[in-house]
Structure 1
Amino acid sequence: MKLATLQAQLPNFEIKLLTLADQEALLALEQSNPRYHQYFSANELTLAEMADDLTAHPTGVAADQKQVFGFYLAHKLVAVLDVLNQYPEQDFMFVGLLMVNSAYQRKTVGSVIITGLMQAALHSDIHCLQLTRVTADTGVKQFWEKLGFEDGDQLFLPLADNGRLAVTTMTRVLV
């Protein structure tokens, strides 16, 4: 998706593609949401993990299919959106992460961003958004359901400590 297409749908935000130069700002944002990281690891977040968050993508997916958008208000990073274009199918977009700084949560920031993303996706010939969410996180489930996403299959992600995490796919067909 083109940055300009997303920016046109969300003119109240300054949006930029995040790079490795933005690791510290991304770390601060993710540290404002410690509960999310605890699902994946008991260790503290590191800059190395931020570098991985900015660059990692599934096997078989080209690096240029991944985009990490930063959303700024008054020059402060208030949200991050990680997407994979044309994944898992040609006219799909996979939302790898939407995280809003804790100070901006429950203030419609996330809903506004996803509503803008859906409009930008339609302008980019994307007809379906898909994501996985941590199954145990019922608040996140309610957030996505409010935006018209529906539960799909439950999967288990392997974790670094040989554990596994239950996640549920969610899909929203765009019309």
Structure 2
Amino acid sequence: MALLPILTAPDPRLKKKSLPVETVDDGVRQLMDDMLETMYDAPGIGLAAPQVGVLKRVIVLDIDREDTKTGPLFMANPEIVEASDEDASYEEGCLSVPDHYSDVVRPATVKVRYLDRDGLVQELACDGLLATCVQHEIDHLDGVLFIDHISALKRNMILRKLLKARKEQEREEAERGPVKAKAKDPEHAI
């Protein structure tokens, strides 16, 4: 397994739509493993392939690392096949939008259909944090960030801060070499 670099907004690759996976082969499984290791290291609870520069419809999730019954979820070509009329609000963050959080309203429950690690079609009913996380990661596959669900004023303010931080980091790296930053709160960094 290998740690992959996580892209941060406003990187234009994060706004591109991902292509479906034709078959879950060893290459896709390796990508899933590398993404999971990268997500844990960040730390986060979800990661989509576009966040590591791969435009494939692949996501990994693990909302409760202590619960060995569920463990990590590996999804290729995930799609929402049912969504509740009832909404829920959750304060979201993102590994690609570091250190920024905002309430996002999404359907409270969803059913997702996907190919698992073995290429088998699965369906999973999701609620609570899992429902939020699945929807957040599927958004990434369509070039949508959680900040696209908030007001333009707040989104633009966050993007300006991220650009400023990127320029500052580039200046520091030029002076003394690269420095790796960690996400502060893995509960919110999806």
**TM-score range, shorter-chain basis?**
under 0.3
Relative to its length, the structure with more strand (as a share) is 1
TM-score (norm 1): 0.25
TM-score (norm 2): 0.24
